[in-house]
Amino acid sequence: MGMTVSVLAFDWANCIRRALGGDNLVRDHNLLKMLFEKNDNIIGYDEVGIASWYGGYFHGRRAADGSRYDMNLFTAAHKTLPFGSIVKVTNLRNGSSCVVKITDRGPFVKGRIIDLSRVAAKEIGMLGSGVSRVKIEVIGKV
């Protein structure tokens, strides 16, 4: 596959995470190639899984990209997508969708793929349930 040193290092880190009982940071080698092989054209990448949301406790705290987290802005946390990625999130239960900007890292709960801001969770109808099965699609980059 012609993987770079960065991708091999990432795979090594995932081996350690699995040995310690954790999840892989990324399971998709195509995404790894896009992230590390000087190809930042990730538009079109998609993923299906469980979304959650975060709000009050984190409101006003620093996000991983250095900005202040505002639960009333359409932002999200993802484990690996580059900061500034613009992502369409669709709730597969009801078909509602919204667009968010990746500004933070997470979620850190096994099996979840994205943490949405409170307003984004409300927009797609998952505020009450706290979690929902979603499809995420990268549609742009700031």
Q: Do 59 and 31 share a structural domain? A: no
Q: What pTM was estimated for this model as a whole?
A: 0.74
For residue 66, the SS3 value is coil
Strand pairing of 112-117 and 46-54?
parallel
Q: Do 68 and 1 share a structural domain? A: no
Q: Do 64 and 113 share a structural domain? A: yes
Report in angstroms the alpha-carbon separations of 128 from 21, 50, 96, 125: 30, 15, 15, 8
- Asked if residue 138 lies in contact with residue 43, where contact means CB atoms within 8 angstroms, the answer is yes
Amino acid in the structure at residue 105: R
Q: Do 113 and 70 share a structural domain? A: yes
Amino acid in the structure at residue 89: V
- Segment 4-51, tens digit of pLDDT: 555 666 677 777 767 777 766 655 566 665 555 544 578 999 999 999
pLDDT at 1 over 50: no
Where residue 54 sits, what CATH number does that domain have?
A: 2.40.40.10
- Segment 40-64, tens digit of pLDDT: 578 999 999 999 999 888 999 999 9
User: Structural domain tally of the chain?
Assistant: 2
Q: Do 23 and 78 share a structural domain? A: no
Q: Do 61 and 107 share a structural domain? A: yes
Rounded Cα distance between 67 and 103, Å, is: 7
Full domain range(s) for residue 23 = 1-39
